[in-house]
């Protein structure tokens, strides 16, 4: 009895499969006739036609014997292409990603970049931090206005970091005037906050004059411990005696090694690139006024990489609620300071 039941069950399954295969065969042949009647030679198949035959190839084992309008390899290629499209859709990027930058911030970066052609991304980034706008420096560089020539940079090697608070540097640099006169500028720079303690200008420097400038730079009792300088002959006996009387221990750099005095050399480079390279100096009084304006900007407004994008005289951070951003021209419009002010 059980054997007859199994036999009847197998007969019903076979009849169902034959009917299913007959229906699929009828569908395949009728579809090919439709394509041949619809198009000219050679037959052109639409994406829907290809999808139908791709489905038949997966659902019907006898599809190859009834396929006439294309080769079986073509159908296999369609199936592989569909598989690639499926996984491309499956692997599509999600909506999540980096936070978009506000359009006003992008416009502000470009405005600052245009108004200050001597500024690079670190300087602009420092200004934005003081305005309460937190971005990474790489984003600032991305939205800056492109320039054919970028300002050159001067990098000095740092040394004696553990003595920054007790060390100053002195140095001279020359400035030619309109009348071909050469003026000498003397600088005294404190290392810890990059503060310029003193500067003066002379046409013919001497050891006595340099010693007097050293006295003017340290009028109070609190003095640094070390004085870093080069081996110029202008630092003669009178200068050395003055430094000794003030309690300064001299540190001389090696011959022809300005990188050993990086802070003051960097300051001189900044003065040239950001001020003197863009003006013609008329005389000593004119140069003194230019440097006075620049050093005021340098101390109160200019952000420094080594000071975590702060100025030598610390600038407060102004949040968005402090008001509208305004630009304040400085150094004759060569640079600007950006602040928030209430309307």
Together in a domain, 130 and 65: no
Lowest mean pLDDT among 42-46, 205-209, 215-219, 258-262: 42-46
- What pLDDT, on a 0 to 100 scale, did the predictor assign at position 71? 66
Question: Domain count of the chain?
Answer: 3
Together in a domain, 20 and 143: no
Together in a domain, 275 and 224: yes
Q: What is residue 42's three-state secondary structure?
A: coil
Together in a domain, 181 and 266: yes
- Look up residue 178 and give its two tokens: 């309109």
Q: Rounded to an integer, what distance in angstroms lies between the CA atom of residue 167 and that of residue 182?
A: 29
| Chain segment 310-330, per-residue pLDDT in tens | 999 999 999 888 899 999 999
Together in a domain, 129 and 177: no
Q: What is residue 188's three-state secondary structure?
A: strand
Nearest 10 degrees: CA dihedral of 128, 133, 136, 140?
Answer: -50
- What pLDDT, on a 0 to 100 scale, did the predictor assign at position 118? 87
* Residue 98 included in any domain: no
Of 90 and 101, more confident: 101
Neighbours of 286 (CB within 10 A): 15
Together in a domain, 286 and 251: yes
Range of the domain at 28: 2-87
- Pair 274, 118: CB distance under 8 Å: yes
| pLDDT at residue 157 is higher than 60 | no
Together in a domain, 172 and 129: no
Mean pLDDT across the stretch 1-25? 57
Last residue in a domain, options 87, 114, 130: 87
- What pLDDT, on a 0 to 100 scale, did the predictor assign at position 48? 72
* Residue 96 included in any domain: no
* Residue 92 included in any domain: no
Together in a domain, 256 and 225: yes
Together in a domain, 301 and 192: yes
Together in a domain, 166 and 241: yes
Last residue in a domain, options 36, 58, 87: 87
Q: Is the pTM of this model over 0.75?
A: no
Together in a domain, 168 and 114: no
* Residue 260 included in any domain: yes
């Amino acid at each position: 009895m059980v054997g007859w039941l199994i036999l009847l069950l197998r007969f019903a399954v076979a009849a169902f499969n034959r009917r299913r295969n007959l229906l699929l065969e009828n569908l395949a042949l009728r579809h090919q006739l439709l394509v041949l009647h619809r198009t000219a030679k050679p037959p052109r198949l639409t994406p829907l036609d290809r999808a139908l035959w791709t489905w038949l190839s997966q659902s019907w084992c006898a599809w190859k014997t009834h396929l006439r309008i294309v080769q079986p390899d073509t159908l296999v290629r369609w199936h592989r292409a569909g598989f690639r499209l499926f996984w491309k859709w499956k692997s599509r990027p999600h909506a999540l990603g980096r936070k978009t930058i506000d359009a006003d911030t992008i416009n502000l970066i470009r405005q600052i970049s245009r108004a200050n052609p001597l500024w690079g991304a670190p300087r602009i980034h420092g200004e934005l931090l003081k305005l309460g706008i937190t971005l990474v420096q790489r984003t600032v560089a991305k939205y800056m206005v492109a320039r054919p020539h970028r300002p050159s940079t001067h990098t000095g090697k740092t040394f004696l970091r553990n003595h920054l608070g007790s060390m100053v540097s002195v140095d001279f640099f020359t400035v030619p005037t309109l009348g071909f006169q050469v003026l000498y500028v003397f600088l005294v720079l404190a290392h810890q906050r990059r503060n310029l303690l003193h500067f003066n200008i002379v046409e013919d420097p001497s050891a006595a004059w340099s010693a007097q400038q050293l006295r003017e730079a340290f009028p109070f009792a609190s003095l640094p411990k070390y004085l870093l300088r080069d081996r110029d002959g202008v630092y003669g006996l009178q200068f050395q005696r003055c430094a000794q009387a003030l309690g300064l221990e001299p540190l001389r750099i090696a011959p022809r090694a300005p990188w050993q005095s990086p802070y003051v050399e960097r300051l001189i480079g900044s003065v040239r690139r950001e001020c003197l390279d863009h003006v013609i100096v008329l005389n000593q009084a004119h140069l003194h006024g230019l440097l006075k304006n620049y050093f005021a900007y340098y101390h109160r407004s200019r952000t420094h990489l080594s000071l975590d994008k702060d100025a030598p005289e610390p600038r407060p951070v102004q949040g968005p609620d402090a008001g509208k951003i305004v630009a304040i021209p400085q150094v004759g419009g060569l640079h600007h300071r950006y602040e928030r002010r209430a309307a």
